[in-house]
Amino acid sequence: MPAWLSVALWSREYQRQGRPDAPAGQVFALGGQHIVDRDTFYCAIGEAINGPGGYFGWNLDALDDCLRGGWGATTPFTLHWDFSAEARTRLAELVPAGDRELALFDLLLEIFEERGVSVILR
């Protein structure tokens, strides 16, 4: 899966070349039914924002960078996270978040909120 994320990142140059980000206020649908770990989350969010084979981060720092613009979407936007309960159970690994640890799923929600993304869990 990391190899696919690398392909998505580098092919992004060809897919998005010269195209502006989607304007603020857009609604994107994230299909959580195929999210089984962090790599599949990044594949799913890339496709939700930029279509099949799309890129929107491959780790937490890259996701944060993408949320600052230039990678397909302009904040604020809304993310409808379908099958979010299933994704929550699969993204339960604890990750460092400052001076604490959070489940990856909860940290993702915090990052989205901090960057102006309204997440609707469905």
Amino acid 22: pLDDT? 92
Q: How far apart (Å, rounded) are the C-alpha atoms in residues 101 and 30?
A: 25
In contact, 87 and 31? CB cutoff 8 Å: no
pLDDT digits (tens, 9 = 90+) for 7-29: 566 565 545 566 789 999 999 99
Amino acid 35: pLDDT? 96
What CATH number is attached to the domain comprising 7? 3.30.370.10
Amino acid 4: pLDDT? 55
User: Number of structural domains, the chain?
Assistant: 1
Could you give phi then psi for residue 118, rounded to 5 degrees?
-90, 120
Q: What angle do CA 31, 35, 38 make, to 5 degrees?
A: 125
pLDDT average, residue stretch 77-96: 97
What separation, in Å, do the N-terminal and C-terminal C-alpha atoms of the chain show? 25
In contact, 68 and 109? CB cutoff 8 Å: no
Tell me, yes or no, if the pTM score tops 0.85.
yes
Amino acid 52: pLDDT? 87
Mean pLDDT, rounded, of the chain: 89
Domain containing 75 equals 2-121
